[in-house]
Structure 1
Amino acid sequence: MNPLLSAEQAVLGSVLLDPGQLAHLDWLAPDHFYRPVHQALFAALRKHRTDGHPAVATKEPVPLSWVTDAVDEASRHVRGLTAVYAHTLISACPRPEHAPVYGRMVLEGAIQRSVTEHAIRLHQTARADALQGEVEETLHCADVLAGVFGDLARRWGSEPRPVAPATPPSTAPIAPPPVRADQVAEDEQFLLAVLVERPKAMDEVVGWLRPGDFADPAHGQLYRCLGALHHRGEPIDRITVLWEAQRRGLLADGTLTTEQLTAICDGVSPGSAEWLGEQVMRSSVTRTAATSARAIRSLAENEALAPGRLINHALHALGPLDDVRTRWHTANGRPTPTPTAPAPSPDRPPTARVHAALARSTPRPVSPPSARLGSAPTPAVARPPSRGHS
């Protein structure tokens, strides 16, 4: 049996049995349900409550019209819903007073689906931008994703903050799309050749370009050698670069070969290190975004991960993209935009309802010793009996 499907059925069954449970589910929206028929039925039940259906106000047994009217209203928006299925939902609800807990389960499933959908969208956008050599849509999509995380965290009742998972999700490095791979490799080789030929050009890129921005790890290691020579104030030419690569063991472990170094150092022609560095950064932005999206999707597919931890781990997975974005704006001479918190939505649940959504167990007040000796503890809240259908 699917736990999420059971939770959706139990929520609807509890409301069909006891319309008063809707007062404890104001934080739950129809689109939080996975099945369209459940979305339509929950929307119909909320509409009848807003319209003042007689079943909501009465303290008598719930009339059958509460069920039939909800089915009729929902059937206007979805096919396949019958009164028989409504009674199946009623039988699927163990206890109507547990509706907030069932609703929390439905919200948890909605959070996982939302994170997955937005991660897929970021990945697709990054790959599309990589083909076109652009980054703006990718960065916009990342901003939307970060805003979604903040909104989901507030709905769940937690504080959004990046937290590294104990075991990082396993994702393979993202390579540039085949159509662009040759161009990216050519830009990287051209940039390294310019930096070897004109060492002073290192000042144009060293402040924002990092070895990890290179798609080819060998090119990144060679740039690291150039950066080390530049940092120590030593001369840069093909002999000193070859020596630095040997000292770092790059020739011994096969990361670089003398033929690669010779090809890069001899392939010199006039070029702008700053412009070429920006091309490398463009590829780095989209590649990092795609990697972050895959990591977030992997986290969302872990059903054992609680929503609060999922959101915090997903925010941590966006961290590398934030770093690359900051350096991208530095390379373009633009100030890094300050992330703004999403504006409060008019239907955002109040704090009290967020606690209801969490449906945490509330500790019972501790009775003084004298009271505990003479009598058994009484429940903190007495639940009203369930109402049946007439």
Structure 2
Amino acid sequence: MSPLLGAEQAVLGAVLLDPGQLSHLDWLAPDHFYRPVHQALFAALRKLRSDSHPAVGADGPVPLSWVTDAVKEAGLHVRGLTPVYPHVLIQACPRPEHAPVYGRMVLEGAIHRTVAQHAIRLHQVARADALQGEVDGALRSADVLTGVLTDLARRWGTEPRPVAPTSAPANGPAVPPPIQADQVAEDERFLLAVLTEQPGAMEQVVAWLRPGDFADPAHGQLYRCLGALHHRGEPIDRITLLWEAQRRGLLADGTLSGKQVTAICDGVGAGSAEWLGDRVMRSSLTRTAAASARAVRALAEDEALVPGRLINYALHALGPLDEVRARWETANGNPAPKPPASAPVPPPARVHVALARSTPRPVPPSSDHPSSAPTPSASRPPSRGHS
């Protein structure tokens, strides 16, 4: 049995044994459970509580109707639930008073699944946009993912902030071949030719186009050479470009050859550097969105990452996309979109229960201060009492 499945069974078993534990699990929602039968049972138990079931708040043993009514209510929404299964859940619960801890485990699993699902969605939309030459879908999906990460961070009780992982994953996801690689490469070669042959063309793109936006690294290095010539105020043509590539060692290390540079510069007709740069940026944006989505998904599938680190690492993985997007907005003269509104932040008390963190044990009084005593805040919450 996986730890997550055990936690789901344990939290349900705790509530079946002690309906009062629901008051410590207000922050836990039915969709946080992975198995549909567990979602239906938890929703049924919450409904019975809201309907003032006699078992809630009753003194003495829990009546059997609490279990049978929960099974009956859950059976209206899911198939395959038998009257025997609640007893399996009860046996799976070591101690009912540990329900907040079990619930935290369920919430952790839900956070990993939610982040992975939205990352997959972003990757799918980015690749679809790349096929159609669009970017709007990828940008919307990125906004949704950022909003989800922000909301999850606040519900978990941490501040959402990008943090770089201490070490890169041992085995990163394989990078698929570029979509429409031939068309993208043709656009990049055409743009480089226009920038080389048309005086002043660099002024149209230099403010927002970067070497990293080119899918072909050799094209990116050639654009870097053009940018260096432009920055120094030197004339730009096929000869000065070839000379700059040689000075940077690109011909010696095999990154470029004289024939490649000549082929790019020959046979160019009229063209708009701004329009071609826009096409290169579109490709760069969708390519970066897909790469960021793959990185976020790899983080979400790492079960060793606690939610706080997962969220902050994922926000960092979206950083390259944010940078490309900012330049995209500059190129198109559009203001940056407002971040999506997040859901209301739970009260601090609920966040504390959701985390179910252990409060430090009281420090024994020192011999030098015999009158010292632990403060009331140092005692453990009643929901996590131990015998």
What TM-score comes out, normalization by structure 1 length? Answer: 0.93
What is residue 324 of structure 1 aligned with on the other side? 324
Q: Which is further off, 15-24 or 362-371?
A: 362-371
Gaps of 5+ in 2: none
Task: Give yes or no for the alignment of 1:72 onto 2:69.
Answer: no
1:210-289 aligned within 5 A: 210-289=210-289
Amino acid at match of 1:356: V
Q: Which amino acid aligns with 2:343?
A: P
- For residues 181-192 of structure 1, the aligned pairs below 5 Å read 181-192=181-192
231-240 or 6-15: bigger deviation: 231-240
Q: CA distance change for structure 1 residues 385 and 218 in 2, over 3 Å: closer, same or farther?
A: closer
Tell me what 2:53 maps to. Answer: 53
Q: Which residue of 2 aligns with 1:63?
A: 63
Identity %: 75
Superposition map of 1:357-376 within 5 A = 357-366=354-363, 368-369=365-366
Give CA-to-partner distance per residue, 1:159-205, whole Å, 9 cap, x none: 1000000123434555431xx22211111111000011013110110
- Aligned CA distance change for structure 1 residues 372 and 357 (closer, same or farther; 3 Å): farther
CA distance in 2, matches of 1:63, 1:338: 52
**What is the deviation of 1:122?**
0.1
2:18 corresponds in structure 1 to: 18
More deviation, 162-171/5-14: 162-171
- After superposition, what is the alpha-carbon deviation per residue over 1:239-298, rounded to whole angstroms, capped at 9, x for unaligned? 111111111121122211111111111131000000000000000000000000000001
CA distance in 2, matches of 1:343, 1:46: 24
1:39 equivalent in structure 2: 39
| Residues 308 and 229 of structure 1: CA distance in aligned 2, closer, same or farther (over 3 Å) | same
Contact 2:359 2:380 in 1 (8 A): no
Residues 82-135 of structure 1 deviation map (CA, whole Å, 9 limit, x = unaligned): 121100000000000000000000000000000000000000000000000000
1:107-256 equivalences in 2 (<5 Å): 107-169=107-169, 170-173=172-175, 175-177=177-179, 180-256=180-256
**Residues 185 and 122 of structure 1, relative CA distance in 2, 3 Å threshold:** same
Q: In structure 1, list runs of 5 or more residues that go unmatched.
A: none
Cα distance per residue 1:360-380 (max 9 Å; x no partner): 111244464479979x99993
Amino acid at match of 2:347: P
Taking structure 1 as reference, are residues 326 and 144 closer, same or farther at Cα in structure 2, changes over 3 Å only? same
Shift in Å, 1:336: 2.2
Give the 3 Å change call, closer, same or farther, for CA 279–382 of structure 1 in structure 2. Answer: closer
Q: Name the structure 2 match of 1:85.
A: 85
The 1:134–1:384 alpha-carbon spacing in structure 2 relative to 1, beyond 3 Å, is closer
Give the conservation status (yes or no) of the 8 Å contact 1:174–1:290.
no
Which residue identity is paired with 1:303?
A: E
Match of residue 348 from structure 2: 351
The CA distance in 2 between the partners of 1:338 and 1:233, in whole Å, is: 38
Q: Root-mean-square deviation (CA), in Å?
A: 2.3
CA contact (8 A) 1:174 1:287 kept: no
Q: Partners of 1:227 and 1:321 in 2: how far apart? A: 22
